[in-house]
Amino acid sequence: MEISVHVPELSKALQRVQGIVEKKSAMPALANALIRTEGKNTITVVATDLEIGVTGRYAANVAVEGSISLGARALYDIVRSLPEREVSLKQLPNRWVEISCGKVNYRLVGSDPDSFPNIPDEEDIKMFPVEPGLVRDMIEKTLYAVCTDETRYNLTGVFCEADPDGERLRMVATDGHRLSVIERPMKHLPQLDTGVIVPRKGLTEVKKLLEDKVEEASMGYTQTSAIFKKDGVTLTMRLVDGRFPDYNQVIPESLEREVVMNRQRFQDALRRTSLLSPNKEQGVKIELESGKIMLSANNPDLGEAREELEVGFEGDPITIGFNFRYLLDALSVLEDDEVVLSLTDELAPGVLTGKTSVGYKAVIMPMRI
């Protein structure tokens, strides 16, 4: 194989695979990127960790057709530091690959491209157009709540389902302590009878993919995998094979107390108070009474913090504890200037929503205080 590529183009292609390649796998091919020619003007760059695969098509001048498999990290580090605009990759005997760019020369040891794992071809899956910004926003508002503990496998992804009337897409994530749910109207909805769990790592890549300015993207599902496409890049991921818990029963329907707060001020006060929260527990105490909300934290080794905010609240007072991290996570994805914190009692979940925006809810279980 011998090709010549625009450096920024190849750099973008290789950046895209960095989140997917497995550096510590027992299978060396999983740390590699596969570069394959397609006709005279196109190459595809492929990477997989066996759960997620990415395939991107990029412009190139193909002199000799073929394919090479190279360590993705090293190749990316080389390409992005190259001085000139054009780089050529040439296959040498014994799987050596020569990279030349102006007067710069590298020789890299490649692997057998035939041992590169196959990414399932999903050509026949029905794809639906989606609005990139909308999907990215939905991912952002749920991804933070996904469980990172592999022993709770069924919670390690975001649950996606169509709402019963088939007009909105709903995405739900939980780690067992807090839950995030968002619902948005969508013109074209894939048929999701039971809902699917899309893995965290895959959605992180989707979010990155949708961050570039793009007008069009599409997605599709099968029983076992999800596919996202944009600009010649295809992300294929194996769905989490598990049953998502019945999340509806933990979302409180009506709450006794509601307090409206300025998001920024609440966030700042929480950050300041949290400085004296006990190291491992991350608890802050919230006391709500008529006209004010008080945040306090008590670290037995350091001391105490206390901050008061004036709020327009009338109702029975309540004292409740929360992991401040969970509150801050939810606050950081809300865009409203005003947020609403709804509480029932000190043992029941609290709900954080935007005051004007609709469709997003963060449900947070309290801590004992």
Out of 39, 83, 164, 303, the residue judged to bind another protein by CB under 8 A: 303
For the CB of residue 8, give the shortest distance to another protein in the complex, in Å.
38
DSSP 300: T
Strands (E), 10-60: 32-38, 42-48, 52-59
- Helices 263-274 & 324-333, crossing angle to 10 degrees? 150
Q: Which residues ranging from 79 to 98 are in contact with another protein (CB under 8 A)?
A: none
Among residue numbers 348 through 367, which ones bind another protein (CB under 8 A)?
A: 349, 363-367
Rounded-to-integer distance, Cα 195 and Cα 183, Å: 14
Strand order in the sheet with 292-299: 303-310, 292-299, 283-289, 318-323
Task: Find the DSSP H helices in the chain.
Answer: 7-18, 72-79, 132-143, 200-211, 263-274, 324-333
Q: Looking at residues 196 to 215 of the shown chain, list those that interact with another protein (rule: CB under 8 A).
A: none
Question: What single letter denotes the amino acid at residue 51?
Answer: E
* Binding status of residue 164 toward another protein by CB under 8 A: no
Residue 114 or 301: which CB sits closer to another protein? 301
Amino acid identity, position 13: A
User: Dihedral of CA 188/190/192/193: which sign?
Assistant: positive
Please tell me whether residue 174 binds another protein under the rule CB under 8 A: yes
Q: Which of 61, 218, 298, 344 binds another protein (CB under 8 A)?
A: 298
Nearest to 117 by CA among 25, 197, 223: 25
Beta bridge partners of 9: none
Among 69, 156, 323, 342, binds another protein (CB under 8 A): 323
Q: Does 179 bind another protein (CB under 8 A)?
A: yes
> Which residue lies nearer to another protein by CB, 99 or 147?
147
Which residue type, as a one-letter code, is found at position 167? E
Amino acid at 241: D
The strand order across the sheet containing 257-262 reads: 196-199, 157-162, 168-174, 178-185, 360-364, 350-354, 338-343, 257-262
Q: Print the binding letters for residues 123-162 with another protein: x by CB under 8 A, - otherwise.
A: -------------------------xxxxx--x-------
CB 153 → another protein: shortest distance, Å? 12
Residue 253 binds to another protein (criterion: CB under 8 A): no
Closest separation between CB of residue 323 and another protein, Å? 6
- Which residues from 30-89 bind another protein, rule CB under 8 A? none
Residue 189 or 328 with smaller CB distance to another protein: 328
Q: Which residues pair with 134 in a beta bridge?
A: none
186: Cβ contacts below 8 Å, ≥ 6 apart = 130, 131, 134, 167, 168, 169
- Interaction of residue 280 with another protein, rule CB under 8 A: yes
Supply the minimum distance, in Å, between the C-beta of residue 368 and another protein: 4
The residue count for binding another protein (CB under 8 A) is 31
Which of 19, 117, 245, 359 is in the footprint of another protein by CB under 8 A?
A: 245
Which residues contact another protein by CB under 8 A?
148-152, 155, 174, 176-179, 245, 250, 280-281, 283, 298, 300, 303-304, 321, 323, 347, 349, 363-369
